[in-house]
């Protein structure tokens, strides 16, 4: 995840994707705490992968997106399409294709 997760913030649907992941959307944390966790993951663990000037997640934004969680059925295909777009249009590294597939 290091130096990769921030690439999702290079496209609006990528930014929303992180909040809509089932393990995120269904978290027992409130929106404010969940936004803080996402910000830590993206901006601290993600290192230099977040685009310059990217805004931190807000509680309002996280609350809005987590009400539209991705289902497990759609998640794999959606992620694959999103990753290809990030690679093709936003200079994300090809390593983003395999992240998470080993788990």
Sorted by where each begins, the domain ranges of the chain are 5-97
* Residue that is written with structure tokens 């999702």 in the block: 8
Question: Which residues 6+ apart lie within 8 Å of 66 measured at CB?
Answer: 19, 20, 24, 25, 26, 27, 31, 34
The tens digit of pLDDT for each residue in 18-73 reads 999 999 999 999 999 999 999 999 999 998 999 999 999 999 999 999 999 987 66
51-66 pLDDT, tens digit per residue, is 999 999 999 999 999 9
Query: What phi, psi does 86 have (nearest 5°)?
Result: -65, -40
Half-sphere exposure of 88 (CA within 13 A, CB side): 6
The answer, as to whether pTM is greater than 0.75, is yes
- Rounded to whole angstroms, how far apart are CA atoms 85 and 23? 23
């Amino acid at each position: 995840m290091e130096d990769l997760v921030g690439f999702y913030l290079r496209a609006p649907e990528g930014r929303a994707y992180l909040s809509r992941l089932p393990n995120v959307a269904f978290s027992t944390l409130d929106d404010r705490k969940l936004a803080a966790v996402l910000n830590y993951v993206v901006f601290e663990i993600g290192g230099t992968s977040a685009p310059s000037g990217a805004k931190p997640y807000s509680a309002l934004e996280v609350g809005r997106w987590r009400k539209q969680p991705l289902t497990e059925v759609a998640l794999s295909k959606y992620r694959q399409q999103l990753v290809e777009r990030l690679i093709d249009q936003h200079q994300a590294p090809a390593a983003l294709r395999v992240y998470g597939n080993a788990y």
